Chain A
Amino acid sequence: MAVETRSDAYVAFEHVQKSYDGVTLVVKDLNLNIAKGEFLTMLGPSGSGKTTCLMMLAGFETATHGEIRLDGAPINSVPPHKRGIGMVFQNYALFPHMTVGENLAFPLEVRGLGKSEREAKIKRALDMVQMGAFANRRPAQLSGGQQQRIALARALVFDPALVLMDEPLGALDKQLREHMQFEIKHLHESLGITVVYVTHDQGEALTMSDRVAVFNDGRIQQLAPPADLYERPENSFVAQFIGENNKLPGTIEELSGDKALVRLATGELIDATPVNIKEKGQKTLVSIRPERVEFKPEMMPAGAHTLDAEVVEVIYMGDILRAVLKVAGTEDFVMKMRNTLGQTRLVPGQKIKVGWHPQDARALDP
């Protein structure tokens, strides 16, 4: 699914820059190719530039520099209503003075479709989101989840090939949100449309996307499928932003191929996999996922370095147990254990040794 070449990109950002005030850039030299049919998520904290990118693609913001292409043609100077892009807004933006049916008819009417054709398309779109019975309601009479479905149906009713979604699930409660994630994913697959999705919720990004572009400070920090992003973050921002993460600062002691020996700030040595470090003596931040931390000697690979740890507290979270440990000078080192029948129950104050597979400890930029 992933594409990196210009020729088969459906949407392409080339050296795109954006500045609002002429002093600072909110988007810095963005290069991004999106394949036809792909579900791409722009993920990042607020102010990272992800929404600006989406608005430039939709035509509501103009790029200060660079080119945006849609299906091979530059669209920088094409007004939004001629781009033919469907869009779902954060607050749904359903027209409050129109019924659901009229909301859906709107894009069809401005395209000059006949009445019978309109009705067929509206019915199909409403059925698609299981809202067939609500055509005569007003948006204010619908629940948040229902409004969300209508907004989705309206963005799809005129059969756009590209649909943009700007944090569409942000206002829903957790359960509904998870349910809608699957529905959107399902619609994407069955309709074969290209989706560019903006969110700051990493869980959402990981669940739904073919690829995720992690934004920070106006740049894409990493563009990768969800599994790579989680398991193989390429820099410490991504490691930190995606999922829970333990970080241990240190210095590269030895570097050989895909193995590195890191001396922590407190003096201990640990094994790690070098990611974006280049030479011996360099400062580094070693990232370890909490669920990859082991404390039972039999679970650790032979010869792995271990660290002394003291249990600070154990939090019961149902499916997992979350232990906060004092390790190598840090007091917020987290370890997650599955809540299985035979799981060892740790108690605060207990002294243990922790370790991990060197592959799971990634030496990143400090």
Chain B
Amino acid sequence: MKKILILSTALTGLASAAHADLTVMSWGGAYGEAQTEAFVKPFMATTGIKTIMVDSDNPATPVKAMVESGNVTVDVANIEYADAIRLCDEGVLEPIDIATLPAGADGTPAADDFLPGAVTECAVSTDIWSNVFAYDTTKFAEGPTKVADFFDLEKFPGKRGLKKGAKAVLELALMGDGVPASEVYAVLSTPEGVDRAFAKLDTIKKDVVWWEAGSQAPQLLADGEVAMTTAYNGRIFAAAMNEGKPFQIVWDGQIYENEMFVVPKGAPNKEDAMKFIAFSTSTEGLRASAQQISYGPARKSSMATEIIFKDGKTVMAPHLPTAPENMTNALETSSEFWVDHDAELNERFQAWLSQ
């Protein structure tokens, strides 16, 4: 089974890597397109290194399989923060020295220019995305503004959409119950804190519609199945910008995390891979990415001047998780907490769901 997986991965990798100097693996779709525009095309134009983009449902899986089989065909991969930590621990990734990353456009060294946690031992952030909640502006005369409003069924009647899983939901519940973002994980680390989060969820349990795929959330909102729902901020932005939906994001209590570029151990073009990462995560690279999709750059210098959406008129800043006005009560996902407690809390969550 595993062998077949490795074999097929290796074969597809071989086929696509055969005529390229550098292979980058990402998630495809609108996100992949944004990265092609922002990273791959300018990189090729600047360096002349022929670079191609390949898609995967979750690049962390093939990366691990490739390294274990000793047949690595991908040079750069875009994976989730927790996976970047885990794979690094397991020795699957090349370490990346923060000193090799370019300084910001304003001269600030990379170590200071990147937001805290955006560069780890083996990975560099490409963007910051966020779990937020959004509502249909036509449903409420005066919309919700605080995370507590999400749990206020009297003031804001109607169904709620929530991602079916413990991650980001328990944090939201605690923040909705008045726990400041800075204390969420401290509280959630205690059994009483977990009980408190579930008790808060109990108050809206019968009115919740659970979603699983990211595309379901804006759909539930558009169908009128829910009055408000949690969602990935880029999905709501896309629905509002591209389809003109009257959706409004509430940034209070947002839970954000970094998406990471990594180099698998044994990558065939390691040197060029490092060059690509340095190029893409430079001030201009991250800025270019944010012009394509509403996920925030992880460098302060990228936001020094106004970022304009590809339509040429929309100012991106207010739509990014990293905008200062959106960060007033924001929580960064603790990958360490979830690495430890994912299984435990998800089981508890499932038990709670079926009770």
Direct A/B contact, Cβ within 8 angstroms: no
Residues of B within 8 A of A (CB): none
Residues of A within 8 A of B (CB): none
